[in-house]
A and B are shown apart, each in its own frame.
Chain A
Amino acid sequence: DAGVIQSPRHEVTEMGQEVTLRCKPISGHNSLFWYRQTMMRGLELLIYFNNNVPIDDSGMPEDRFSAKMPNASFSTLKIQPSEPRDSAVYFCASSPLYNSPLHFGNGTRLTVT
């Protein structure tokens, strides 16, 4: 099992550019989560999907953020346009069942200059 795979590992972009983060969950996991981690705010849940359907996107900070899960093996988080305050580590996580722990990917460190 390769675990949750995120790409890219690092992304540096200029303010105003579009950024797309990618995630491949563990095969067979029904739920997928996008978290953002910063020193100031800690770990924040942005959105989560169950069986490819978005269940709760109340953590998405603004309309500039969007997430999709077109199939069970792929999800994207897009920021358009990006701003310096979006700089953070973005984690994708998946889980197989309710009451199971989340399996986190290695994260994407985003820097917006």
Chain B
Amino acid sequence: ELKVEQNPLFLSMQEGKNYTIYCNYSTTSDRLYWYRQDPGKSLESLFVLLSNGAVKQEGRLMASLDTKARLSTLHITAAVHDLSATYFCAVDPSQGGSEKLVFGKGTKLTVNP
């Protein structure tokens, strides 16, 4: 059974600082997704990573995937308050493609002025 672990689960940081959220998964997969959820809201897709070494960037967020290490990172550069949200990674465990994503528990990020 695929397990997806994120750390940290809670992250409080100051504006302007950099930090990285980690997503480890337990079985082979080359499809990983990052989502953002604001309190009381829906989930919004941030990044789709579909191969080993994939790197995607949008604004102050950059995501990467290392399928050999079974690890994805979400790097935050010069954080701003608007980035405060919960970030989820999700992994497709099927080599054949089942669309059955398994989500991590989420990392709740709070950016303080």
Contact = CB atoms under 8 A, between A and B. Distances in A.
Contacts of A45: 100-102
Report, as a range, how many residues of chain A touch the other chain.
Answer: 20 to 34
Contacts of A103: 45
A100 B42 contact: no
A61 interface: no
B105 interface: yes
Interface string B80-113: 0000000010000000011111111110000000
28 contacts: A42-B103, A42-B104, A43-B106, A45-B100, A45-B101, A45-B102, A48-B100, A50-B99, A55-B98, A56-B98, A56-B100, A91-B42, A93-B43, A95-B99, A98-B97, A98-B99, A99-B48, A99-B97, A101-B45, A101-B48, A102-B33, A102-B43, A102-B101, A103-B45, A104-B43, A105-B42, A106-B41, A106-B42
